[in-house]
């Protein structure tokens, strides 16, 4: 586990492909259902009070149920993703019949699990403020810490090109995004927070936030 900022750590993973973070004693996101042994092993010796999702997609909720049950902790996500997490709506609502999305859902999506804490705009999680940032997913959120302006943003932006592996800040692929126009508004909302460190769901930590500002300006 690598420390990125005070009380903020990133779990090990392959080339920052699918990121999982910890803030204080809260696990942020839960990778795919294939990552159970790795995630549980890495947090085994650490206190855990909750699992909180940035959004309910197969590569972010995969072992949420397993971790919550193994450690006896609640699951949190935004109100607009509760139905998906609890099995009443598709985990991937964008283009669900596309062959790639069908494959990803079958291979990566974890089972439904009860949401013990329903998040709303302005709530606080381990010192981070919840900022609703829909578009990529209905319940996408940014966890933002005002004291040092650290932002954990899920897939509001990606800091890697998922097709080529090239590191760069950009929009998430349209194929996986429910409402591209709404997500662009959320990218501008992220930039308006003026973060000093952006931790995305995919790609390495972004410290040159001028790249984010340029992206937001290009989408205005």
DSSP state letters, 151-210: EEEETSSBSS-TTT-----BPPPGGG-S-HHHHHHHHHHHHHT--SEEEESSSS-B--TH
Q: Which residues pair with 138 in a beta bridge?
A: none
- What's the pLDDT score for residue 13? 83
- List the end-to-end C-alpha distance of the chain, in Å, as a whole number: 37
Q: How buried is 45 (Cβ within 10 angstroms: 0-12 exposed, 13-18 middle, 19+ buried)? A: exposed
Q: What is the CATH number of domain 2-219?
A: 3.60.15.10
Contact 140, 131 (CB under 8 A): no
Mean pLDDT over each residue of the chain, to the nearest integer: 96
Q: For the chain, what percent of residues have pLDDT higher than 70?
A: 100
What integer is the mean pLDDT of 154-170? Answer: 92
How many angstroms separate the CA atoms of 123 and 121, rounded? 6
Q: What is the pLDDT of residues 1-35, one digit of tens each?
A: 999 999 999 999 878 999 999 999 999 999 999 99
* Structure token pair of residue 150: 């650290």
The answer, yes or no, to whether residue 164 has pLDDT greater than 90, is: no
pLDDT confidence tier of residue 127, bands split at 50, 70 and 90 = very high
Q: Which residues pair with 159 in a beta bridge?
A: none
The answer, yes or no, to whether residue 59 has pLDDT greater than 90, is: yes
What integer is the mean pLDDT of 198-214? Answer: 95
The answer, yes or no, to whether residue 162 has pLDDT greater than 90, is: no
What integer is the mean pLDDT of 159-171? Answer: 90
- What's the pLDDT score for residue 165? 85
What integer is the mean pLDDT of 169-196? Answer: 97
The answer, yes or no, to whether residue 126 has pLDDT greater than 90, is: yes
What integer is the mean pLDDT of 121-145? Answer: 98
Domain boundaries, the chain: 2-219
How many angstroms separate the CA atoms of 85 and 80, rounded? 10
The answer, yes or no, to whether residue 138 has pLDDT greater than 90, is: yes
Q: What is the pLDDT of residues 67-108, one digit of tens each?
A: 999 999 999 999 999 999 999 999 999 999 999 999 999 999
Element (DSSP H or E) covering residue 144 = strand 141-145
The answer, yes or no, to whether residue 220 has pLDDT greater than 90, is: no
How many angstroms separate the CA atoms of 65 and 51, rounded? 9
């Amino acid at each position: 586990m690598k420390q990125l900022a005070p009380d903020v750590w990133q779990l090990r993973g392959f080339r920052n492909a699918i990121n999982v973070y910890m803030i204080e004693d809260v696990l942020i996101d839960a990778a795919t259902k294939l990552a159970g042994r790795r995630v549980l092993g890495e947090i085994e010796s650490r206190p855990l009070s909750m699992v909180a999702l940035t959004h309910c997609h197969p590569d972010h909720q995969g072992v949420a149920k397993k971790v919550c049950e193994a450690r006896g902790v609640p699951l949190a996500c935004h109100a607009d993703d509760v139905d998906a997490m609890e099995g009443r709506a598709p985990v991937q609502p964008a283009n669900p019949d596309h062959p790639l999305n069908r494959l990803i859902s079958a291979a990566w999506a974890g089972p439904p699990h009860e949401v013990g804490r329903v998040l709303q705009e302005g709530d606080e999680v381990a010192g981070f403020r919840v900022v609703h940032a829909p578009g990529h997913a209905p319940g996408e959120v940014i966890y933002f810490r005002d004291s040092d302006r650290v932002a954990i943003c899920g897939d509001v932006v990606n800091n890697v090109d998922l097709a080529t592996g090239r590191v760069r800040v950009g929009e998430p692929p349209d194929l996986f995004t429910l409402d591209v126009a709404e997500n662009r508004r959320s990218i501008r909302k992220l930039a308006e927070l003026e973060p000093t460190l952006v931790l995305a769901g995919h790609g390495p930590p972004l410290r040159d936030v001028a790249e984010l500002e340029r992206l937001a300006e290009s989408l205005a």
